[in-house]
Chain A
Amino acid sequence: MDFHLTDDQRALRAGVHELLAGRFPRERLRAAVDAYEAADGGPVLDRALWRELADAGFFSLLLPEAEGGAGLGLPEAVLVLEEAGRALLPGPLVAGVLLAGAVDGVAAGERVAGLCDAASAPALWEHPSDCDEVIVVAEHAAYRCAPDGLRTAPVRSVDPLTPLARLLDGPSGAPYAADVPRLRREAVLLTAAQQLGGAVKALEAAVAYAGQREQFGAPIGSFQAVKHLCAQMLVRVELARSAVYAASVTEDPAEVSGAKLLADEAAVRNARDCLQVHGGMGFTWEADVHLLLKRAWLRAESWQSAAAGEEALAAALADGHIAV
């Protein structure tokens, strides 16, 4: 047993981090927020950036090498999406990674595919104006839809960079042949990976601010009350990381549920604590903290809510389907 990252995995993570730091730095993030607000709706995605991500192999990660992919597995996909979450990169990334082999043009970044969980109520669809095609996933089946074939109602999204629409009808369209439980499980896991990245970012931002902001003639990070907030943020990150990485290796349904549960908690609570550490600054639009929190809230409701995760784990416990 060696749970640690291999050299290749480490290099992959570092490479993605560097790519995103160069192509989607904070200024780009804030410019995207401003642009979307100014446009008052419409698409969010920067298609040129999307193609660059595709060129870097973002969406073809899981495709076999024979199909032009990297032939990597879920552990690698998790590392990539963790970095995307850490950079607050917007867009239907999970759909991109999971649908690259099924929807034309997705692997190359030419077309954007979306995934919509029709089993949740309300059924929300992310990035309605950005998607060229949507896979609507019901409880046990999935359907392939053209975006204009879906009747929707607008929803003003909590997250300034993740527009939402509400599906008005039940799922319809051409059947999409897929192993639906697996598709759902992978969507849960990859969403958890993004949450982990968000939790890491919140921790980093809090520690950086605590080391630099001074009150009472000392950095606020020298006060225990602040230190202990930060320490618990790290504890949440490390616990969630262990759970998410392990679930990516085992793909065990209960373990995936637990990983999402703990990653959601880490993302949301770390963003909250990060806000507290920032004081009044944390309550401003200008600071990035609210973007972290809002994205975390959004993802916490995506694919598996806390209630659903805990019920699934309880059921696994009762049926002996979870082991330590």
Chain B
Amino acid sequence: MDLTYTDEEEDFRARLRAWLREVLPKLPDRPAATDWPGRRAYDTAWQRLLYDAGYAGLHWPADAGGRGATPTQHLIFLEETERAGAPYVGANFVGLLHAGPTIAAEGTAGQRARWLPPILRGEEIWCQGFSEPDAGSDLAALRTKAVRDGDAYVVSGSKTWTSHAEVADWCELLVRTDPEAPRRRGISWLAMPMDAPGITVRPLRTLTGTAEFAEVFLDEVRVPVANRIGAEHDGWRVTMVTLSFERGTAFVGEVVACHRVLVALARKARDNGRWDDPVLRRRLGHLAAEFAALWRLTQWNVSEAQHRGGVPGAGGSVFKLRYSHARQELYDAAAEVLGAGSLDADHEWFADRLSALSYTIAAGTSQIQQNIVAERLLGLPKGR
């Protein structure tokens, strides 16, 4: 149990801080939430800066173009960029956290050379085409079909809730290549170019008021067979690699940010007198314990990954279950501090209160996470 950082790790932190101090003041203003081309440009420019400074794909293996950093260095990177107020991963999310790691783990040398460098340089944006209208939690029910025609698959069907679809160059697409096989053995993983003929993207307006995800309709879209990652019909297994990455370290920066919001909440409550209410004080005190513990749990999970050669474990599900709930509680507490002021949609906490609502749904609902924890970690029998 050693919570101190080694000299090497502190060195890494110091160099990163110095770099952040230098580059952050030069960044342009953040684009409006509705300005998708602007958001893409902003996010990719930031990724390019990271790349040029040697911070892109920090935790990716060296043979995938990454820096082969340890999980702890990656943790420090996420922590420090958040503390410094650096941009979020934004539209680079799927490329850096899902598609990229999958291609790094399962792709051929040629596929890695084709797709990984542009992700790291911020040149190409990916989206994730997994969910369908009739396949959400039950992802293996997906029906979008791909039929072999020479050296291409002809893909038809529809995807939904696809984040960043409007600005993506590529889609990591799950398709059914064998309709006869048992559900999980007839799926393949394809890299689909988003400018291929036959693709229609229809943005969906979310409850935040902006279009954060989209429906994607596929009408006989030709995707080269060479774009398949992994063996034909083996896409389910390939996908599971991606999903564990998603829950591994995706929320490190946010825990730091939540603590900062909590401190601001306490200040606000003292200013407006609500601090005199012991019920509110205790609620904030409890949240302080939760976020401090979530930070320690993150360090615990990172240490575990480090012992297992960088592979994130099932601890991510435990973390996500509690964190998604705590984040919602945080913004409910914020509303209590603000009182009727929480009804002002222009308040800085308003958008986060709304977006927090998606945390118990996206990337596996809390109910599904509880099934995973009960069956895989506790060994309880599968339900029927």
Q: List, in ascending order, chain B residues with CB within 8 A of A226's CB.
A: 380
Stretch from B19-27, B45-53, B122-130, B277-285 that touches the partner: B277-285
Is the beta-carbon distance between A309 and B289 smaller than 8 angstroms?
Answer: yes
Q: List, in ascending order, chain B residues with CB within 8 A of A258's CB.
A: 288-289, 292-293
Is the beta-carbon distance between B380 and A207 smaller than 8 angstroms?
Answer: yes
A173 to B296, CA, bound (A): 42
Is the beta-carbon distance between A218 and B381 smaller than 8 angstroms?
Answer: yes
B311 to chain A, nearest CB (A): 15
Most buried by A among B267, B289, B297, B384: B289
Is the beta-carbon distance between B381 and A245 smaller than 8 angstroms?
Answer: no
Most buried by A among B5, B281, B291: B281
From A224, A255, A309, A323, B285 is in contact (CB under 8 Å) with A309
Is the beta-carbon distance between B290 and A239 smaller than 8 angstroms?
Answer: yes
Answer yes or no: A322 CB below 8 A from chain B CBs. Answer: yes
Q: List, in ascending order, chain A residues with CB within 8 A of B259's CB.
A: 323-324
Is the beta-carbon distance between B378 and A75 smaller than 8 angstroms?
Answer: no
Is the beta-carbon distance between B304 and A4 smaller than 8 angstroms?
Answer: yes
Is the beta-carbon distance between A243 and B6 smaller than 8 angstroms?
Answer: no
Is the beta-carbon distance between A234 and B373 smaller than 8 angstroms?
Answer: yes
Contact with A along B240-283 (1 / 0, CB 8 A): 00000000000000011001001100110010000100100111
Q: List, in ascending order, chain B residues with CB within 8 A of A249's CB.
A: 1-3
A271 to B375, CA, bound (A): 21
B55 to chain A, nearest CB (A): 19
A218 to B129, CA, bound (A): 37
Most buried by A among B285, B294, B315, B322: B285
Answer yes or no: A314 CB below 8 A from chain B CBs. Answer: yes
A243 to B370, CA, bound (A): 22
Instruction: Give the interface SS of chain A, mostly helix, strand, loop or mixed.
Output: helix
Q: List, in ascending order, chain B residues with CB within 8 A of A234's CB.
A: 318, 373, 377-378
Residue of B nearest to A316 (CB): B288
Answer yes or no: B306 CB below 8 A from chain A CBs. Answer: yes
Is the beta-carbon distance between B284 and A227 smaller than 8 angstroms?
Answer: no
Q: List, in ascending order, chain A residues with CB within 8 A of B283's CB.
A: 310
Is the beta-carbon distance between A261 and B1 smaller than 8 angstroms?
Answer: no
Q: List, in ascending order, chain A residues with CB within 8 A of B275's CB.
A: 318
A16 to chain B, nearest CB (A): 16
Is the beta-carbon distance between B6 and A318 smaller than 8 angstroms?
Answer: no
B370 to chain A, nearest CB (A): 4
Is the beta-carbon distance between A3 and B288 smaller than 8 angstroms?
Answer: no
A2 to chain B, nearest CB (A): 5
Assuming the contacts A261-B286, A262-B290, A324-B256, asked whether A238 and B381 have C-beta atoms less than 8 A apart, the reply is no
From A222, A243, A316, B380 is in contact (CB under 8 Å) with A222
A1 to B315, CA, bound (A): 18
A: contact size bracket: 35 or more
Is the beta-carbon distance between B296 and A243 smaller than 8 angstroms?
Answer: yes
Assuming the contacts A1-B2, A5-B1, A313-B285, asked whether A324 and B292 have C-beta atoms less than 8 A apart, the reply is yes
Is the beta-carbon distance between A240 and B293 smaller than 8 angstroms?
Answer: yes
Q: List, in ascending order, chain A residues with CB within 8 A of B369's CB.
A: 231
From B3, B291, B381, A250 is in contact (CB under 8 Å) with B3
From B288, B300, B370, A314 is in contact (CB under 8 Å) with B288
Contact with B along A214-231 (1 / 0, CB 8 A): 000011011110111011
Is the beta-carbon distance between B383 and A222 smaller than 8 angstroms?
Answer: yes
B327 to chain A, nearest CB (A): 14
Residue of B nearest to A79 (CB): B1
Answer yes or no: A276 CB below 8 A from chain B CBs. Answer: no
Chain B: interface residue total (CB-CB under 8 A): 61
Answer yes or no: B379 CB below 8 A from chain A CBs. Answer: yes
Is the beta-carbon distance between A1 and B303 smaller than 8 angstroms?
Answer: yes
B50 to chain A, nearest CB (A): 22
Is the beta-carbon distance between B3 and A246 smaller than 8 angstroms?
Answer: yes
Answer yes or no: B295 CB below 8 A from chain A CBs. Answer: yes
Q: List, in ascending order, chain A residues with CB within 8 A of B384's CB.
A: 218, 222
A242 to B294, CA, bound (A): 8
A242 to B300, CA, bound (A): 7
Answer yes or no: A162 CB below 8 A from chain B CBs. Answer: no
Is the beta-carbon distance between A207 and B378 smaller than 8 angstroms?
Answer: yes
Is the beta-carbon distance between A257 and B296 smaller than 8 angstroms?
Answer: no
Answer yes or no: B111 CB below 8 A from chain A CBs. Answer: no
Is the beta-carbon distance between A242 and B297 smaller than 8 angstroms?
Answer: yes
Contact with B along A296-324 (1 / 0, CB 8 A): 00000000000101111111111010111
Contact with A along B202-222 (1 / 0, CB 8 A): 000000000000000000000
Is the beta-carbon distance between A219 and B381 smaller than 8 angstroms?
Answer: yes
Answer yes or no: A254 CB below 8 A from chain B CBs. Answer: yes
Answer yes or no: A129 CB below 8 A from chain B CBs. Answer: no
Answer yes or no: A9 CB below 8 A from chain B CBs. Answer: yes
Q: List, in ascending order, chain A residues with CB within 8 A of B382's CB.
A: 222
A50 to chain B, nearest CB (A): 28
Which positions 198-212 of chain A face chain B at CB distance < 8 Å? 203, 207, 210-211
Assuming the contacts A314-B288, A322-B288, asked whether A228 and B367 have C-beta atoms less than 8 A apart, the reply is yes
Which positions 15-53 of chain B face chain A at CB distance < 8 Å? none
Q: List, in ascending order, chain A residues with CB within 8 A of B295's CB.
A: 324
Q: Which 5 A-B pairs have CB atoms at the shortest separation, nearest pair first?
A: A258-B289, A310-B285, A313-B285, A314-B285, A227-B374
Q: List 8 A-B contacts (CB under 8 A).
A: A2-B72, A4-B1, A230-B374, A234-B378, A248-B1, A257-B289, A318-B275, A322-B288
A residues adjacent to B (C-beta < 8 A): 1-6, 9, 75, 203, 207, 210-211, 218-219, 221-224, 226-228, 230-232, 234-235, 238-243, 245-246, 248-250, 254-255, 257-259, 261-262, 307, 309-318, 320, 322-324
